[in-house]
Each structure stands twice: as structure tokens, then as C-alpha cells.
Amino acid sequence: MSQITEQMHTSDIGDILEKSISGTRPSGNDILRLLKSDDVHLMGLVAGHITRKRFGKKASFVNNIILNYTNVCVTDCKFCAFYRPPGHNDAYTLSLEQIEARVRTAWEMFQIRQVLIQGGHNPNLGIEYYEDAFSMIRKKYPHIGVHGLSPSEIDMISRIEKTSTKEVLSRLKSAGLQSIPGAGAEILVDTVKDIISPKKISSDDWLRIMEEAHTMGLPASATMMYGHVETASDISSHFEKIAKLQEKTGGFMAFIPWSFEPNNTLMQKENLVMYGVGGMQLLKMIAISRLVFDGMINHIQSSWLTNGVGMAQVALQYGADDFGGTLIGEEVVSCTGARSTELTGKKIIDAIHQIGYSVEERDNFYNTVRMH
């Protein structure tokens, strides 16, 4: 701690970090200064100190699968290499039997505790498709949490069914939906969304649907996709909007900053973004996330999927406390050719042990399943 104190006296962000250590979260202007500072190591030292004070030298993970139920999508996001338009040769939608087969195999082989259900915005799928899938999983595999459908997917279902998003959420919850992933947020600034995902829901709609979910007892994770066309001011605004909603509802369980991977995307083809922003930016975003949300959103995920296991190990020392999930059968990031996207529980456990941390396997709601 004395080492940190000495460094803070000479740092351009020392005053912000001193306030963080004493429990005062950064203001909007402070967040901007953190984003513009190059003192990433010191941010990480302070964020890591705060995290260890809260959790000890322990990191959690969830044994899960990502179930990409369809790649049919009509929103044409420029950052996505996964989607296919309706009628395309590579388009697919999983049947209920295929969903059950995947979940059964994952339960039998890995004892998964969560299925993360995400797909494209498929105009041919009514709400019964999701209700049938969720109720089947909950009935047959009661230990597996159903973490599914981003706010933009909820919005799509409401438009297909010509009903409110609140009604859709209510029906899906009754069918077995337990929590909502934070996808579709990207950056919660519409001037950014107009460039990268003009057909997706607005920032206000994303926040409204999340508030509806929280209010009816569906907790969620919040995400941020950085490293494309956004500015530091846009990122700061995103942090502040998530914090404001969390102050109101307390419904976010975790925050996940992840870096945009441009390979095979329209944004790369149009020369908007040629390369990912790399590891230092990840560590900065992890550290700032902990400083911004300390005492407000408990869990910060290490975002290994787009940055790899080695970076995730460092992220656990820069403010993250959760490794995220295992990965068997993920199809979205793997379409960018970013890296091998298979990761078993054993590999995660080994990676966490390598940095001298104990390992907590958790469920969908961050409750302990077992210690490793």
C-alpha cells in the first residue's frame, strides 16, 4: 500500500485514485481524466487493491455454454461477422430437439450451471419458440440457469408479437428466463450506434428494457464494447448511464468491458477500424470499471474471450474478480477468427491457480457451487 501511496503523489490521476481508496467513486470528469491518462499500472494497482479488499485473492467462473440459437439477423451490425440474412445458404435456427441435445450433452459432460442464450434478430421466431426452450431447460435441468436474450432481442420479439417489451419479459420470466445478458449496449451513445449498428435499438431503449427487467426481478449483466469509433467522452457517458440505472434499480450483477474484434467485419472492410486496440487498453478499461462501479456493481469480468487467457490473468490483478464462463460451442467471436474459442473449466481453474488465486465455481447468480 505504501508503494501505491508514493506513486499517487506524482501521478496526474493521484487525486482521483486517493478518493477511490477512501471509497469515493469517480465523477464524470474524473472518468474522462482516467480514460485520457497513461498511468494504467497505477490504476491497476489501486483497482486491484480495492478488489482484493472485497474478495481476497479469489476469482470466480461459471461452467456454461453459449447457445447461439440462430444466426439469422436483419439488423446488419457492422461489427458482427456472425449474422446471415434470412434465406442465406449458411443461415440456421436450432430446433427444440437440437437445443435439448446441446444442453443435455453439456450437463452430462461438464455439469454446466448456466446456458447463455443469444442469437440474431430473426423475424421468423415468435415468443413461443423461446418459451418452449426456456421451460424445457428449467424442467429437465433445474440446476442450469437460463441467462438469455439481450434487450435488442427482447425488442425484436415484442415487434414480432406486436406487444410491449414488458409483456415479453413477463412471459419469458414465467417460462423460465432467470437473467439477462448485457449485449446490444455496445456504447450507449446514439451517435456511435448510428455508425456501427443503425438498425439496433437506441441507447434509451436498451436502458428502458433493462430497467423493466430489473423491476420484475430479472437481474442482468451490463457490457461495453470499446475500441471502434467511440471517443473517451462516449465511454465516460456509457459508464455514467449504467451507474445511474444501477443506483435506481440495483439490478446489474456484473459489468463486462470487451474490446471490438474487427476481423471479417464490415467495419474492417470499410476501413473504419483495422485492428483491435490491444491489451493495455483492456487493462485500463478493467481498472476504470472497478473504480467506477466499486460498491455498486459487485463483479467485473476479465473478458478473456477477445483478449485471451494470459490477458485475463493480468486483468484479475487489475480489478476483475470474475473470469467469466467456460466456452464450448460459441459461434459469434469465433467467426472473426480472433482466437481458439474453446475453454474448459479445467483450463480456467489452472489459469487462476497460476497467479496464486483460489478458484470459486459459481452459478448464474454468483452463488458458490464449489471451491477448487
Residues 252 and 242: beta-carbon distance below 8 Å: yes
Coil/strand/helix, residue 179 = strand
Q: What is the spatial distance between Cα 372 and Cα 346, in angstroms, rounded to a whole number?
A: 10
Q: Pick the closest to residue 152 from 193, 115, 191, 113 (CA basis).
A: 193
Task: Tell me if 79 is assigned to a ligand binding site.
Answer: yes
Q: Pick the closest to residue 311 from 263, 258, 274 (CA basis).
A: 258
Taking residue 226's Cβ as centre, other Cβ atoms within 10 Å add up to: 21
Task: Tell me if 73 is assigned to a ligand binding site.
Answer: yes
Q: In the 8-state DSSP scheme, what is residue 325?
A: E
CA distances to 106, 113, 358 from 320, rounded to whole Å, are 27, 21, 14
Task: Tell me if 334 is assigned to a ligand binding site.
Answer: no
First to last CA, the chain: 29
Cell 430473426 belongs to residue: 122
Residues 223 and 299: beta-carbon distance below 8 Å: no
- AA identity, residue 55: F
Q: Pick the closest to residue 232 from 240, 221, 244 (CA basis).
A: 240
Task: Tell me if 335 is assigned to a ligand binding site.
Answer: no
Q: Is 300 exposed, middle or buried (CB count within 10 Å of its CB: 0-12, 13-18, 19+)? A: buried
Which conformational region is residue 340 in: left (phi greater than 0), alpha (psi within -120 to 50 degrees), or beta? Answer: beta
Give the torsion sign (CA, 42, 47, 51, 57).
Answer: negative
Taking residue 36's Cβ as centre, other Cβ atoms within 10 Å add up to: 12
Mark the binding-site residues for (3R)-3-methyl-D-ornithine, compressed into ranges: 150, 303
Mark the binding-site residues for [4Fe-4S] cluster, compressed into ranges: 73, 77, 80
Mark the binding-site residues for S-adenosyl-L-methionine, compressed into ranges: 79, 186
Mark the binding-site residues, compressed into ranges: 73, 77, 79-80, 150, 186, 303
